[in-house]
Amino acid sequence: MAALLGGWRLPRGARVGFTRSEYASTLMLLHRLAARNGWTLVDLPADDHGRLDLDALAAALASGLDLVTLPHIASHRGIVQPAAEIGRLCREAGTPLVLDVCQSLGHVDVTGIGAIAYVGTSRKWLAGPRGVGFLIVPAPTPDMDAATPTLASHEWTSTPPAPVPREGVPLGVEPKAGAGRYEGGEAAVAAWVGFGVAVMEHHALGPAAVYAHLAELGEAARHALDGRGGWRVVEPFGEPSAIVTLRPPEGADAASLAARAAEEGVVVGVVPVARAPLDLREPVLRVSPPPGTGPETLEALARLLEKG
């Protein structure tokens, strides 16, 4: 995300729409860029589940937004944003949309959105190698540039005079055409290959079948875990994702529960408040059943929740 937003030449006073469910690293970046470049961050309204209010978005776009950035699915809650509708509204308003698909690629359908850029990672729902991020920019505009030029991503547009003066050499630099302007000079090629293999395996399984299976797992987990030991599921039971968030009962601690679960061979995550400081008020438990998770695993976790 820093590679994409860090060099974007938005005008001073630009209005950038974001949501409170934004991932902490992106939120930090937005606040730093806003302070440095004179942008105004516009908090886009959402409902109690964190789903973006489309009417409020339309009103904000009508009032003037220069950019909208959005996580398709947040890291701390399994709500799937209505990305296709959001993309349509942004296109109609002429406002570029940046979509974070870290938690959605390989998890839910990410086609037909029409964002100007997609930011994601290999290692989550595609189960690819760690350390591989990607940026998809189908048609970068002239004001889009990388934060830092390199010889791999940029080119000289002028040559120094002869003889070369010791001060004030007037050299011009411009980004290369297309998304290559964001490329670095070095890469972990083996990890790239692993990412490609993960994508091919996903397509071999059939994306639609994978999405349906994960949605079924998410719903099964919510039904199995809600209310056990006083822990409550945050998402609607039928939310079509496999990220299940559990809010602890009074006196319970998500980190302690996760540690006990690990001792029993059940892997769950703890989401600290720092990951979404505008949205979380206490740490929560994240359950992300991978493909093939059986009911016995969910029941084992449910028993752990009841033990406290």
Distance in angstroms (rounded) separating the CA atoms of residues 43 and 33: 16
What is the distance of C-alpha 195 from the center of its chain? 17
Reported confidence tier of residue 42, pLDDT bands at 50, 70, 90: very high
Reported confidence tier of residue 144, pLDDT bands at 50, 70, 90: very high
Query: Which residues, in sequence order, are CB contacts of 146 under 8 Å at separation 6+?
Result: 3, 6, 7, 153, 154, 175, 181, 182
First to last CA, the chain: 39
The pLDDT of residue 113 is: 98
Domains identified in the chain and CATH numbers: 2-150+186-201 (3.40.640.10), 207-307 (3.90.1150.10)
pLDDT tens-digit readout, 231-249? 999 999 999 999 999 999 9
141 with 98: CB under 8 angstroms? no
* Max Cα distance, the chain (Å): 79
pLDDT tens-digit readout, 5-26? 999 999 999 999 999 999 999 9
Residue with tokens 């411009």, as numbered in its chain: 174
128 with 194: CB under 8 angstroms? yes
